Structure 1
Amino acid sequence: MAPTGDGAKGSKKRKNPKDSGVPSSKRRAVAENQSEDAMAKIQELEEQISESRKYYNNIAILLSMLPAGQAGGKPNLAVAVALCRVFCRLIAGGNLSEPRGAAENEKVIVAWLKERCQEYQKALLDIVRNADASSQITALTLSMRLVNERATNMPEGDIYVWTFGLFKAVFEAVVEAQDGEALRAEFLTNFVKAYDDVRYFTFHHVSEYAATPRTSETLQVLISMLSECDTAPTPEHEFESFYNKNAQKNKKLVSVNAHKKRAQEAWLAILRNNLSQSQRKALLRIMSHTIEPWFSRPELLMDFLTDSYDVGGATSLLALSGLFYLIQEKNLDYPQFYTKLYSLLDADLLHSKHRSRFFRLMNTFLASTHLPAMLVASFIKRLSRLALNAPPAAIVAIVPWVYNLFKEHPTCTFMLHRVVRDDPATGFPDPFDPFEPDPTRTSAIDSSLWELETLQSHYHPNVASIARIISEQFTKQSYNLEDFLDYTYQGMLHAELGTGEKPLKKLPVVEYQIPKRIFTDRGLEEDGGVDAGPGSLVRALWDFA
């Protein structure tokens, strides 16, 4: 029976180690001695296993000292390293393989060792998935050592180990690891990018892993891993860096076409998965220089690029670059290319952050002198019409671009010199049809560029000055479009105010009296109670509901 009495007397306060009177230096020395004793114990168990088979039970003891599976836990890495050495020696010595005609007790021992090896591999994979970053990297290195030993010495063969065995489990653990940014960086830098055979089988597992629907987070991990492999081998490339020495005997691992085929399958599996809009845009940005060089059959990308093109907006602009690469480099024919290009010319284009990229591509698309004049005229007219409501930075690029097109296609200059016979009552009927989707049927060649003449009265002096080059003699051969593509509001403002070297011809008119209210009607002044009059001009122009 428990003693009864005063609670204060019946309970004892737990002492703090700091209050026990033991100096901190002494406590550190005790901890170091305990750590040294533990290391000595681990080393003794490992050495006994190497000495005799009768100490194989030490493997189970070491496995019990290796806690794993806790999220963010700190496993005993010294035990993990010791077990790795133990199993590598056992695999190299053939102790995990049943010899022909082995006795029953020998088969039992081999089966037991295989189970303990599987248990150890599972523990390492748990560490890779859930432990802290340092432990994850150590477990990855140990797992890859086991992969190398099994591929070299196990009777099932190296292909089985890489495609169906341990390496497949390692790859999945790396992809699914919690907080595994550092782990994946280690895997990519020290294994995938460093060794040709590891990269080959990584491509293989990416294609299999992405063959089923995955979450956006998982797809982002796969995209990041493949994007790091951004250098496709040339036909003359010789594969010499292998993680496993037996890899050189595999003809596929020394074949450029085989490597590109694996990478092609990996990228296609990702492109066919449930990509988010941001991931689709990211892939389109790297399409030309990272993805397409791996494809031996680039026509397989046509479906993805076409679907992306049909999305509209910025996604279509990004897809256009990939399509142009296929047309220019791979000689692919894309039907209705200029019709689709013409459909991209809308008001949103001139306000898009991809405007410069689009103008560079369009400048290339329309540079050929073999294009019909009516098609080129449609692009000129469409952009001139859009320039009426475009920001100044876009107009600055449109006018030189139109000038260059006139120099390349002189037939279109009739749009500048057309005599306008207008009716004072109805005005001049513009034959241009802005709603016609086919650029060869818009009748733009029969119209005039009154829009550019209107821009000569633009409020921004730089825009008005550039617009006047259309009305002058075409003495300049062409303008360098790169000088105009990167203009912004900020850049144009800095050009006026940044240097201070340009003198002001006329002082700007400023508001000398700051109004108290802008969006509301002015009521009675607080000081005099006098009606201050109607609201501001902004308040009069718009009805704020």
Structure 2
Amino acid sequence: MYGGGDARTWGNGWSKVKPFWSASTPLTLFFLAVMKAGTKASIKTPVKRKRDIDTAQSQPSSSSKKAKSTGQLASVTELEATLLDPDAPSLNPLADLLVHARSSRATPAEIHAAIFALYRVFVSLVTRGLFAPGSTITSEVKTWLYARLDEYTAFLSSLLGHEEEALKEGALQILFSLLKHLSESVSAATNTPQVQPYVWRTIVQGILGTAGLDLREYLKYDDIRWLFLRDLTATMQRDDPAPTLPMATNALSILDIFDRVPSTAKELKFFLPAFGRAPSKAANAALAAEDEDLPAEPDEDDWRAFFDRPAPAEEKEEKFGRAGRLSTHARLHAPPAHRAQLVTAWLAVLPRIAASEAESVRALGILHVKLVPYLKKEEAVRTMDWIAGCVDYGGTTGLLALNTLFELMTTMNLDYPDLYVRLYAYLDRNILHLKHRARFFRILERMLSSTHLPATLVASFIKRLSRLSLSAPPAAVVSIIPMVYNLLKRHPTCMALIHRDSLGEQTDPYDPTERSPLRSNALESSLWELQSLTAHYHAPTSTLAKIFSEPFTKPAYAMEDFLDHSYTTMFDAETGGKRGLKMKVAPAVRDEGDTQDLVKELWVI
């Protein structure tokens, strides 16, 4: 078929001979299919452009990243080894190590390795005495070293707010450990116990600027706590620049940590060894000699002592002159100085949080434990001014402020003229529906517990409580009735309120709009509201209200048994508890033998 012959024969027979690649042959169809498939594959696979290739090459793979990180860690180790060598010709690698730590491309692991390498290097330099006063190095080198130290501590302070928890804890640990080494070096060189000022200032600013730090491990030491409170007070009292609210909030959180104040020298614990050593006997002897020359402090409750006091300027010099002459070391070993520093810090922080109601509530909730037990009378007066301002907030904040005011009045013999007027203003419908209702009743019972209160004032509170019981929930009414009963037994003059004939709301002389409880005409009224409670829909409440129609021979109620009632407790009381749910009265059920169809009987069309 293909035939032989030369090219001529082949060319002449081209039109006559059917080639083997004709479209009708199976082999041709196979090759065409293969070629078509290859064409589709080449269309689907795009050709990479040069820009794509350059972009892919610019993104390192995971293996290259790992190799780069390993190289960074090796470089840190090499620089550390160079700086730890006492015979190193230069300290310039210290700057390179700082660059590694502060690099924006460094991973948390690389930063962690770099800051601890720098810590070991600085400790080595401190041990060699390069940071001690009077060292043999030149002033230029010392200035350069202190500049690198400032960079390092500032970077550690910035890490206190890092999202990586290990870096935060590591930075805080390094700062305090470095402080100990530097303070010991300075104290040994000067033969005077002291704290390294630059590092300590960086620590204080970093702590106040960062929220959520766990400082209990360090603030348990009395020297660290006293030094921190001293600088905290200075920061809060500064007006240029004034501390921000977040900074004051952090300060309040730190003050909440302090749960004790040393009362004797044996209770003192020191973080810095130099401060742990007792002051010299010569200083104590001079201090004792000064004490003999000072006049005795007057009795705070003696009114005649007020006229014997010197002028304010002389009094300030006499009172604070001795404390001002004491060194930091001597103050740290004097327990009264710790109490005074804590109170001073509180009095500096409180005005800075007055603009925030939330922070004021938090402070009022802990003042009675953290501050009030350590106050003297003059300090209590200053604290009372801030607390009185919190009363204006109203609501929960005002209630807490009133409670703290009453605490100061009873313990410090202070006076707040408008206390009962402000307390009377809180008695409205809203207070009986708040979740802090039980706390309010506790405060109310405490403030009305004195038998020396005027009957007119007590009658106004009794009448206001009775009027509010008409619209109060049953859980609140259950608290009102025992409180009114106790007040009537404690103040027999007010018994006329239940013996007088029922007047009704239209003829009642009581003025509910009067703000002063002394001018409300409550003593000329009657407690007709409590009489209406005998028909209350809640059976226990109606039964309890009938106590006023019986002789007052029963003892006073224990209010704690009634203050924590709610709809949940009332439901549990009716059902026999949360778990059992046993009804006191079994519901009606159909008898099994009864074949009567109740649906047909009751369903009428």
Letter of the 1:208 partner, please give it. Answer: A
The amino acid of 2:236's aligned partner reads A
Q: Distance in 2 between matches of 1:210 and 1:70?
A: 37
CA distance in 1, matches of 2:83, 2:461: 78
Matched, 1:261 2:343: no
Q: 2:205 aligns to what?
A: 172
* Aligned positions of 1:306-345 closer than 5 A: 306-345=388-427
- Give the Cα–Cα distance (whole angstroms) in 2 for the partners of residues 385 and 160 of structure 1: 66
Distance verdict in 2 for CA 1:240–1:427, change over 3 Å: closer
Cα deviation code 1:353-394 (max 9, x no counterpart) = 222112112212222222222222221111111111111111
| Counterpart residue number, 2:528 | 450
The alpha-carbon distance between structure 1 residues 65 and 502, as it changes in their structure 2 partners (threshold 3 A), is closer
Q: Partner of 1:246 in structure 2?
A: 274
Unmatched segments (≥5 aa) in structure 2: 1-45, 280-328, 589-597, 600-605
- Write the distance in 2 (CA, Å) between the matches of 1:68 and 1:364: 62
Q: Aligned partners of 1:447, 1:505: CA distance in 2, in Å?
A: 45
Which of 381, 387, 393 matches 2:475? 393
Give the total of aligned pairs.
Answer: 482
Which residue of the partner structure matches residue 42 of structure 2? none
Q: Greater Rg, structure 1 or structure 2?
A: 2
Percentage of pairs with the same residue = 32
Change (3 A) 1:387 1:151: same
TM-score (norm 1): 0.78
Report the equivalent of 1:528: none
Alpha-carbon contact 1:239-1:254 (below 8 Å) kept: no
Among 128, 134, 151, the alignment partner of 2:183 is 151
1:257: Cα distance to partner?
Answer: 2.4
Residue from 148, 161, 164 that aligns with 1:132:
164
Asked whether the equivalents of residues 432 and 476 of structure 2 are also in contact (C-alpha less than 8 Å), the reply is: yes
Distance 2:249 2:49 in 1: 62
- 8 Å CA contact 1:200, 1:259 repeated in 2: yes
- More off after superposition, 409-418 vs 391-400: 409-418
Within a 5 Å distance, the mapping from 1:424-463 to structure 2 comes to 429-463=507-541
Corresponding residue number in structure 2 for 1:282? 362
Q: CA offset at residue 126 of structure 1?
A: 3.3
1:408: Cα distance to partner? 1.6
Alignment of 1:410-421 (within 5 A): 410-419=492-501
For residue 374 of structure 1, what is the aligned residue in structure 2? Answer: 456
Q: CA RMSD in A?
A: 3.6
* 1:455–1:467 Cα contact (<8 Å) kept: yes
- 8 Å CA contact 1:69, 1:131 repeated in 2: no
Which amino acid letter does the alignment assign opposite residue 249 of structure 2? Q
**Shift in alpha-carbon separation, 1:338–1:111, aligned structure 2, 3 A:** closer
Deviation at 1:156, TM superposition (A): 7.8
Secondary structure of 1:442's partner? coil
1:41 is displaced (CA, Å) by 2.2
Q: 1:204 aligns with which of 221, 227, 230?
A: 230
Deviation sequence 1:392-434 (CA, Å, 0-9, x none) = 11110000111111222222212111245x7xxx997322222
Q: Which of 373, 385, 396 is 1:293 aligned to?
A: 373
Q: 2:408 & 2:192 partners in 1: Cα distance?
A: 38
Structure 1 residues 473 and 69, CA, compared in 2 at 3 Å: closer, same or farther?
A: farther
Q: Distance in 2 between matches of 1:388 and 1:369?
A: 28
Q: Distance in 2 between matches of 1:157 and 1:69?
A: 42
Distance in 1 of aligned mates of 2:61 and 2:254: 52
- CA deviation after TM superposition for structure 1 residue 40, in Å: 5.1
* Structure 1 residues not aligned, in runs of 5+: 1-5, 514-545
Aligned to 1:54: 89
8 Å CA contact retained: 1:232, 1:260: no
Corresponding residue number in structure 2 for 1:492: 570
Q: CA deviation at 1:7?
A: 6.1
> How far apart, CA to CA, are the structure 2 residues paired with 1:427 and 1:335?
31
User: Residue 225 of structure 1 corresponds to which residue in structure 2?
Assistant: 254
Structure 1 residues 438 and 17, CA gap change in structure 2 (3 angstroms): closer
TM score, norm. by length of structure 2: 0.71
Give distance in 1, aligned partners of 2:474 and 2:243: 44
Residue in 1 aligned with 2:548?
470
Cα distance in 2 for partners of 1:19, 1:321 equals 66
Equivalent pair of 2:226/2:341 in contact (CA under 8 Å): yes
> Aligned residue for 1:526?
none
Question: How many Å separate the matches in 1 of 2:174 and 2:273?
Answer: 18
Indicate if the aligned counterparts of 1:97 and 1:110 stay in contact, CA closer than 8 A.
no
Task: Describe the SS at the equivalent of 1:165.
Answer: helix
8 Å Cα contact 2:183-2:195 kept in structure 1: yes
Please give the alpha-carbon distance, in whole angstroms, between the structure 2 residues aligned to 1:43 and 1:170.
25
CA distance in structure 1 between the partners assigned to 2:61 and 2:539 by the alignment: 80
Distance across 1 between alignment mates of 2:551 and 2:587: 29
The letter for the 1-side match of 2:122 is F
Q: 1:253 to 1:232 in 2, by over 3 A?
A: same
Q: 1:525 corresponds to which residue?
A: none
**Residue correspondence of structure 1 range 334-373 to structure 2 within 5 A:** 334-373=416-455
Instruction: Describe the superposition over 1:305-351 as per-residue Cα deviations: whole angstroms up to 9, x where unpaired.
Output: 11111222222111111112102222222223223322222222212
Indicate the SS of the match to 2:526: coil
User: What amino acid maps onto 1:382 in structure 2?
Assistant: R
Q: Sort the Cα spacing of 1:81 and 1:174 in 2 relative to 1 into closer, same or farther, 3 A.
A: same
Cα pair distance change 1:302/1:72, threshold 3 Å: farther
For 1:69 and 1:15, the matched residues in 2 are separated by 22
